[in-house]
Structure 1
Amino acid sequence: MSDEKTYDQTDPLIGRLIDQRYRVTRRLARGGMATVYVAQDERLERPVALKVMHPHLAESDDFVERFHREARAAARIVHPGVVSVFDQGVVSGQGFLVMELIDGTNLRALLNAQGAFTIPQALRYTTDILEALRAAHRMGVIHRDIKPENILVPTDGPAKVADFGLARAVSEGSTSATGNMLGTVAYIAPEIVLTTEANARSDLYSVGIMLYEMLTGAVPWADESPLQIASHHVSEDVPSPSATLPWIPREIDDLVAALTARNPANRCADASDALDLVARAAASIPFDIANRRAEVAREDSRSGSETTALNTEVMPTQLTQAMPVPAATAVTTATALPAATAVTTVHTSTSTETPSAGELPAKMSTRAILLAVIAFLLIVAASFGGSWWWTEYGPGSYLTMPTTTGRDLADVQADLGAIGLASSVEEEFSDDVQSGIVTHSDPDGGSSVHKSTNVQLYVSKGIDMKDVPNVVGKGQDEASRTLADAGLALGAVTDAYSEEVPPGQVISQSVAAGTSLAHDSTVDVVLSKGREPRTVPTLTGKGASAAKSSIEALGLVASPTEAYSDTVPEGQVISQQTREGSTVYRGDSVSYTVSKGPEMVTVPDVVGLQRQEAHDKLEGAGFTVQEDLILGGFFNTVRSSDPAGGSKVKKGSTVTISIV
């Protein structure tokens, strides 16, 4: 590209296109574990921060895997108070992160510029940090390295926390490779010093130290060595801010104490609890001290106006160095003491010129004093080392576990915390132990354990309850599989006829769907045998009412028709269309014919009609005609009929007509 000449060629990454996407434009900062660059995301056309891990950290495959895992965890946190992680990858064997570029400074630069903050300002930053931690802790991500350098302050909006999860990846890689435990000593929680294990309350401890620093302008025990500071964290309570600034109200002292209790069990339970305390403290600040701040000398910080995205890790004092893990021998401990550095300084400052005769006694006296001091320091170091070994690895480092099994989880954790043992909790279902009670632990209660042991507690969630699925309409095998998938079992299977459910399918279940049952429960079902068969009874000769009753008693439907019968009395069954003895099913129709008796017809009136006309009319009405001639029937005229016209007689009867 034509513009590559403008890049700083002293850094091989400047001007380079990373991952076919990120063009590195300039270096922003360099720290102990990474270098931060400003880059342009050429795909989305936006500036980003590129944090590249130093090469020595990439030498371990374990570290690279941890780095990627922690980066993925950090990327899940979406919150206005957390610096967003956009992408990750590897360049030249070094892991890198692509992160949100923040226009602003960091809290360290602000503290250097202002010396100390007012109470409202300190509480506002504390609130921003706790809001971010609450979101991260809910995702299961612990920061482990909360300090002013990791708190970015944009030109607008809330303060943002950077480098979530990275402290763990780097510290684990450093511990395995170099024997060092990464941690900013001034802000480190006691349990990390003792066990290297961190949890959400460890982050709250660091926030409490930061609040102390924002108010007073310095961290507790600031003038001492890192090893001494770590010892203070373990063995002493954090001083109250009012011990330095008497005008600080008691509510602020109580807030700092709640965040920095040495026993994690005595700290705020989580970030939400801490936020409640901060809100109450803020509401109690008297107006006359709201704008007051500690009189602290201010430091000129060039990084205060930089645009940054991550911890610059530029901290000149020993308080932000990696804390050495105590060695196993007194001699090594002695060489790690600050006194060794002091001795070196004295020798370095000794003049190389040959002393005159008059100066020799004074030099010898000084040298004797120096040797005496060295001897004294070595004795103190050996004593300290022996004491440290006794309490860290020797018999003094072992504790007796309290009883765990069968006790309430909170009580067990309180007892463990009281003797300084950390614990992890894993929940499991139990048919015998009620919810919230410890079922067992590793190590067992009453065991002798090292004080750095993390006790694994197994606590009951109660009986494993399962939701009953709906198996109505399923076949037996499918119903059994559905119940098994839900963690239940198929119970008794019975059969029943059903007019609606096809054969082999479940008609009903003993427990309604959606009901919660213990995991070892069974669900009974009723399978359909299909429609219930019925045998058609004999109906012929029965009265209509009796025939209907016998049909309906079988769950069948009577379907009668009527017909005239000269032989079967009215109201009796003449015949049945649904054959007697045949098989039908409940709800089917049975057809049969009921007699209406003989058909009755009205005799037409034929009196006065001519002979042939009367024959036609009567025969047309279905009668047989007989004649009775009077006087030989000379006139061919009907004089009368028997039966007479208008009478009702059976169809087909004989009508006799008299003809004159």
Structure 2
Amino acid sequence: MSDEQTFDQTDPLIGLLVDERYRVTRRLARGGMATVYIAQDERLDRPVALKVMHPHLADSQDFVARFRREARSAARIVHPGVVSVFDQGVITGQGFLVMELIDGTNLRQLLRAQGAFTIPQALRYTTDTLEALRAAHRVGVIHRDIKPENILVPTDGPAKVTDFGLARAASEVSMSSTGNMLGTVAYIAPEIATTAQADARSDIYSVGIMLYEMLTGTVPWAGESPLQIATHHVADDVPKPSASQPWIPREIDDLVAALTARDPASRPADASEAIDLVTRAAAAIPAELASRRADVAPADRSGASETTALNTEVMSAQFTRPLPAPSTVTTVHTSAPIPTPEEAGTTTTYKRAALWVSLVVLLLAVAGIGGTWWWTEYGPGSYLTMPATDGRPLADVETDLGAMGLAFSVEEEFSDDVATGSVTRSDPEGGTPVHKRADVQLYVSKGVDMKTVPDVGGKTQDDAKKTLSDAGLALGAITDAYSEDVPQGQVISQSAPSGTSVPHDTAIDVVLSKGREPLTVPSLNGMSADAAKKAIEGLGLVAAPTEAFSDTVAQGQVISQQTAEGSILHRGDTVAYTVSKGPEKVAVPDVVGRQRDDARSVLEAAGFTVQEEAILGGFFGTVRQSDPAAGTMLKKGSVVTITIV
């Protein structure tokens, strides 16, 4: 028979009717603060989870009061991602909560079964958790104990967060009564470890640790002692997931770093801002990594988060589907005391109680011996506050660090905003805690990073871009222009002359050649010679006119063009055309003194039409005169009259 079965048979609560309403059917889980049972709400006829605080907490009236207050606060959270609190009460000093019963498992069990999650799976559970925290934070409830055990995974719907407010009630009592702090140390925020103060950003830190574990299969600094882990949370940044799983992309490293920043002011201000970061990271994940997960064997998950806080661990239960209730039941009213395991005479319970007492005493002894040493060497007492660094002259910062006994090293870097010789940044940052033996890294400005502009004239766009990139500059705007000298696709000019010095973030604009500009030959018909020449030369072409006689086209007008209208030429090419000289004219031959027939032949040979006038009957047949007179310029075909005597 298993211990669980033995416990169920001897547990005095099994079969009882609590508060005249909740019939306890079986035990579900037991932790350091409470035991969870499955019960049947006989009034509403539904299964519920009944969480009963351990008897030792009932001794503190302070806890009982805080428990009631936190239970009321948790009940105000209404969200599908939060396990609902239905009822609460106290039986003989032992507080109990009645909660929603979830059909499913929790993240711890899933991690044990799978070893690690894929990135989409881990981001989905992270988003579900942050959605629940956003609803809680809006009503002023801080969880304080986010860890895989407290994230329930139903068979359908989003993951659900449980145990809101319980960690605070327990930790406040523990801090006031024993000086110890409850909460799982693997997920604890630095400010809780040092001051026990928490706000919404403390929950976000724990979500970041949980995301790291879901991706890598282990919590940061696993295997070290609780004190060492607490010290790491306070003094060290959470390692990058890619440090152990190199395939994890930088976007996930940046997301984990943002959620787990040691300084709360550097984390997302609230769950909404954290959800935005997760959404952006999810969108940037390459498709080929969607199904990949860390190569962690499921067996390696055993005890992965069993590292506890400075004293003990807050219990968190996973609620699964209820089993049938035992056939024998007993009714108990809230006014009647509940029998304790001691009264039932359970030997197993005595042994377990003795073991727990021994463990607590041992832990207290170790804490007492090492507490002072830890405080001064690794704890809050070992930390100083960094002086202001950013923007201050290096000499002033060095003086302050020297006075505090802090070692430091200096590295130069360019800065667009900080003057030369002043500190641009430091690690740790100014105003943040720094261990007294830490080596502070200072970065001092060398001024603006100036680059020499290379010559990219005549290069192609790709070659120009590479040349500029090699020089530390970027290619800027690209425009196109025609060029008679630079071949198509090559750089004609650049916005900054080569050899000049410009800031590193200056973009160099370039003009690329489109080659020679195509020019279309216009129509010259009907133009005068001057107008035709002006039109041609206005396009950058060369006019090449010739002249010809024309009986139909007026002198000085274009008769025809040899370079056809619409032809495509380039600058400097010639356009051939013909300009009219008007009708062709010839001189009237001198035919005076010639005989009639001879004179007619000469005139007709010159292209004239001959008419005759006879005096005295033209007896002698000799030409006495011509009209027009010899030498007169006439166009061919004109009439010349000769007088015959």
| TM-score of the two chains, using structure 1 as the length reference | 0.48
TM-score normalised by the chain length of structure 2: 0.49
